[in-house]
Chains A and B, each alone.
Chain A
Amino acid sequence: MTQQTTAKQASQASSPYLPRVAKVADKQKFTDGEMWLRLAFTDGGGIEYKAGQFMEVSVYGIGEAPISICSAPGKRDDLEMCVRAVGDVTATIHQHEVGQTIGLRGPFGNGFDMGQVAGMDLLFVAGGLGLAPCRSFILDALNNRDRFSKVTILYGARSPRDLLYRNDLQEWSNRKDCDFMMTVDRGDQTWTGNTGVITTLFRKIPKVDPANTAAFIIGPPVMFKFAVLEALGLGMRKQNIYCSLERRMKCGLGKCGHCQIRNVYVCQEGPIFSYAEVMRLREGI
């Protein structure tokens, strides 16, 4: 007779796929396709995360999607994300009402400790939705402003209708302790700012000390390719240029394999890589 037994150890093991419960504390529609949400944990546990990390967000019955955290890092009760509706899960998240609960797992990814670039000049280059993860780096720097030298922020969007975080953009352009510039690929009748791709802003930034500058370039792969060329053209070092390489994430645990870039699991050793590492990855860009 075969006995059915449950290993004591195994039954006490907890599944890393179980969610924590968070509530939608606040939401704001940024554009037709992008929604900003603030999510607060209801279990009293809070969260601690670094710039560049991401969460896996669940809508049960539909699926789970990896979304970057866009709020300032640290130990806190809540976090923010900017969700673009590209599929079933994200479209449903857009419909969530304030007060509605949602399942979160994380934080995942290596993230980036801004302490690593203390004392350096910082150059943030954010393209499109890349501004969301980039914002967690920017806020970390601005909230600890005296740890860094010059801070320059460049942002490019496709059109004025696609601008995200308008309040932050306004605030950053008013600040005296950083240089903020933005551009849109194509303006409209009311647009009076810069037009052109984000690389055109590189002509306008104040003089950079290439040996002492760390660049954070976050945006679509094609933007990254050209922005890196600009950064290298200014004399910056490959190991001081950072990016967020996003891939298809599923488990977030380095097991399912979807996020592999050559020998690296982006959910474990990434998504933040220096350009020197990206070059070694070959398949990376």
Chain B
Amino acid sequence: MLPRILRKDAFEGFVEFLMGKYRVFAPVAKGPQYAFARIETPQQIAGIRMDYTQTILPPKKLLMPQYEDLLSFTGRGPEGVSSEIKAEPTAILGAHPYDLHGLATTDKAMCLAPLDPYYRARRDQAFLVGVNMSAYINEHQFMADMGTLEPAEGGFDLFLTDLGDRYYVEIGSEAGSELAKASGACGPARPEDHSDKQAYDVDKAANCPKRLPYSIRYLGELLDSSYDSLLWDALSKRCFSCGTCTNVCPTCYCFDVQDKPNLDGRSGVRQRRWDSCQLKSFAEVAGGENFREDRSNRLRHRIFRKGKFILERTGKLGCVGCGRCSLHCVANISILEALQQIADQKVALDA
């Protein structure tokens, strides 16, 4: 499926067409920050910021809501417990390549057997339109190292690159191809469009250098050899265990399940909500034993999940190099610095 061109003056019509088929979420400005918000009326299309720097929360919130009812119940007993698994067609418009990689990870993780039907239903109804990024926005990002500057094969339906007065539209799926055609908003790409895209890619590569002193194929082993390092103690000294890092992370998906009774004291819902391995009580069992009581153990666990465990379990990246955790950390703890420092450490389990 060959690339197409979407002129910017046809963008509004394209989005309106998309809104006719999906609930559309796109990046909008919220003060100095950006967030994925619902575009409900054609008037709101003008507020879409495809040129945004980064949203605070990644688009995972659209496939894995912060609060989700799993079951509803009518009393204490198991009779009358029911679940409703449904999803609405949802288009995520304007996800950066690294966020598309993040979705590929949560897709895989939530669909490992036994698969999660709630996530699956939402994902089956989702349409992904990515938008390219041209440069790092701060000193915390390292997508070049993690290989997330380009979206993965099959990780999107459409992928837009801003070429000034038009978007270069790469087609990633049958659904993307059909929608591009049906919208009537896309024309064929001409030779100058292809060469402008090439020029964009060259600029982007220059603006997004590698920042780790090693190839990430060695990351897992370097982490293993740093297990006993004092680095984790040093970093955790300023950590608040607030959970902001996990909140904003595209590949974090841990959750808690709580019962929420209604005012009648009998009926209610069993609800899941985002949880964080950084919070003190995450690994605490009834009876009081806490298997990760030490803050440095929790912080180390997170970095290992991001750099090693998620990749081992799902085959997808545990860290997409977006830099959100480092940017939003109250204590300025940077995952990039941590991963740089494990290569400096002299500690190793064996030579």
Contact = CB atoms under 8 A, between A and B. Distances in A.
Interface of A: 1-7, 9-11, 13-22, 58-65, 84, 86-87, 90, 92, 100-104, 221, 246-248, 250-251, 253-258, 260-263, 282-283
A10 B124 contact: yes
A255 B77 contact: no
* Highest count of chain B CB atoms <10 Å: which of A61, A103, A221, A260: A61
Residue among A2, A3, A14 having the largest count of chain B Cβ atoms under 10 Å: A2
B275 A257 contact: yes
A283 B297 contact: yes
Nearest to A266: B291
Q: Which of A13, A20, A100 has the most CB of B within 10 A?
A: A13
Contacts of B77: 21, 60, 100-103
Contacts of B291: 247-248, 261, 283
Interface string B246-266: 000000011111110100011
Interface in B264-298: 265-266, 268, 270, 272, 275, 277, 282-287, 289, 291-292, 297
Interface string B59-90: 00000000000110101111101110111110
Contacts of A283: 291-292, 297, 301
B81 A18 contact: yes
Contacts of A101: 77-79
Contacts of A103: 77-78, 81
A14 B116 CA distance: 10
14 contacts: A7-B125, A10-B87, A14-B117, A15-B70, A15-B118, A17-B71, A18-B82, A60-B75, A62-B76, A63-B257, A221-B289, A248-B291, A250-B256, A251-B257
Given A5-B89, A262-B309, A59 B285 contact: no
Contact of B76 (A7, A60, A251): A60
B120 A13 contact: yes
- Among B23, B116, B308, the most chain A Cβ lie within 10 Å of the Cβ of B116
Instruction: Across the A-B interface, give the 10 residue pairs with the lowest CB-CB distance, nearest first.
Output: A10-B121, A103-B78, A257-B254, A13-B117, A15-B83, A60-B73, A86-B286, A19-B78, A263-B309, A61-B261
Given A15-B70, A18-B81, A60-B73, A255 B255 contact: yes
Nearest to A16: B114
Given A7-B87, A253-B114, A262 B304 contact: yes
Interface in B35-51: none
Nearest to B258: A63
B343 interface: no
B86 A6 contact: yes
A10 B86 contact: yes
Contact of A4 (B79, B88, B121, B292): B88
